[in-house]
């Protein structure tokens, strides 16, 4: 069974200061002195959760994309996190999935945080991105998406011609890891921690949440509470309030054993997202 190593960067961010954030994150990424496969940064890692996209948006040919490409190549690891992107006259809170070979994928945040006015400044995405790495499938989402279980819900292939036994059906889940990058406030950290566990349990997958720490420019506190949760809801990593770079290697066998021993997915409801 394959393994997959993540490096999670929980950090404070400089408010609306791209240069300072990229310099700080360069130091943190450069300090990673062991092989890793996926480096995860928080939501809007160049600016913090700003509602001024007209000032800070870049294109997909902009300097932050170039920065991600350089560091991904340097570390021979995927780098992911969300930034503000302008495309077709609209602004997106876009998670970029940068590969060491310079190729990339992206996911535009589906659920915009109207409570902070995000829906007035940004356009919503309508497609999920499930990335594939070493035979693993990773569902990539952003912050507020965590509150909406239908968007995260594992869908199962029930085609008898494709599936002959339990072990093959286990392998035909949509994804093995669900990953959230966030700027989730301290005052609602109980919901953050609870929902990360819920997403892991209900989808029988690993759940990873990478959040920021510190005060933002609106004096909103962030406690981090970055977590890794196993497929039975067990917390494998949790860090609150402090900056941290955490490395964890996940084992595919754990997911397959859980889904085989506890085949709750057999009783799940079929549905379609329109």
* Chain segment 209-234, per-residue pLDDT in tens: 999 999 999 999 999 999 999 999 99
What amino acid positions are annotated as catalytic residues? 43, 109, 143
User: Comparing 15 with 266, which gets the higher pLDDT?
Assistant: 15
Do residues 47 and 56 touch, judged by C-beta distance below 8 A?
yes
Q: What is the DSSP string of the chain?
A: --EEEEEEEE-B--TT-HHHHHHHHHHHHHT--S--SEEE--TTTTT-S-S-HHHH-B-TTSHHHHHHHHHHHHHTSEEEEEEEEEETTEEEEEEEEE-TTS-EEEEE-SS--GGGTHHHHSPPP---EEEEETTEEEEEEEGGGGG-HHHH---B---TTT--SHHHHHHTBS-SEEEEE----GGGHHHHHHHHHHHHHHHTSEEEEE--EEE-TT--EEEEEEEEE-TTS-EEEEEESS-EEEEEEEEHHHHHHHHHHS-GGGGPPP----
User: Under CATH, which number does the domain 3-266 receive?
Assistant: 3.60.110.10
Do residues 36 and 67 touch, judged by C-beta distance below 8 A?
no
Distances (CA, A) of 185 to 21, 50, 150: 19, 14, 23
Q: How does residue 1 score in pLDDT terms, banded at 50, 70 and 90?
A: low
Residues recorded for the chain: 274
Q: Say what the pLDDT of residue 45 is.
A: 98
Cα torsion 159, 268, 198, 151 to 10°: value is 60
- The predicted-structure confidence for 255-267, as pLDDT tens digits, reads as follows 999 999 999 988 8
Q: Say what the pLDDT of residue 169 is.
A: 52
In the chain, where the domains are located = 3-266
How many Cβ atoms from other residues are within 10 Å of residue 60's Cβ? 14
Picking from 148, 260, 139, the residue whose alpha carbon sits closest to that of residue 207 is 139
Instruction: Report the percentage of the chain scoring pLDDT > 90.
Output: 89
């Amino acid at each position: 069974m394959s393994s997959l190593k993540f490096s999670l960067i929980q950090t404070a961010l400089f408010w609306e200061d791209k240069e300072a954030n990229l310099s700080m994150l360069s130091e943190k990424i450069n300090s990673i002195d062991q092989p890793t496969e996926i480096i995860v940064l928080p939501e809007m890692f160049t600016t913090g959760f700003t509602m001024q996209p007209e000032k800070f948006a870049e294109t997909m040919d902009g300097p932050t994309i170039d920065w991600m490409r350089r560091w991904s190549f340097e570390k021979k690891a995927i780098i992911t996190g969300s930034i503000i992107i302008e495309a077709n006259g609209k602004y997106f809170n876009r998670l970029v999935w940068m590969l060491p070979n310079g190729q990339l994928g992206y996911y535009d945040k589906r659920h915009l945080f109207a409570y902070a006015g995000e829906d007035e400044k940004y356009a919503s995405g309508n497609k999920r991105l499930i990335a594939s790495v070493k035979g693993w499938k990773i569902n990539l989402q952003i912050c507020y998406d965590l509150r909406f279980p239908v968007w995260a819900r594992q869908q199962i292939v029930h085609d008898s011609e494709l599936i002959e036994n339990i072990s093959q059906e286990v392998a035909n889940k949509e994804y093995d890891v669900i990953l959230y990058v966030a700027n989730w406030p301290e005052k609602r950290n109980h919901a953050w921690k609870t929902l990360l566990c819920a997403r892991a349990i209900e989808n029988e997958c690993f759940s990873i949440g990478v959040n920021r720490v510190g005060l933002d420019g609106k004096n909103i506190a962030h406690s981090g509470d970055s977590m890794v949760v196993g497929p039975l809801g067990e917390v494998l990593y949790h860090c609150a309030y402090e900056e941290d770079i955490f490395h964890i290697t996940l084992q595919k066998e754990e997911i397959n054993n859980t889904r085989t021993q506890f085949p709750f997915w057999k009783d799940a409801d079929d549905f379609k997202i329109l």
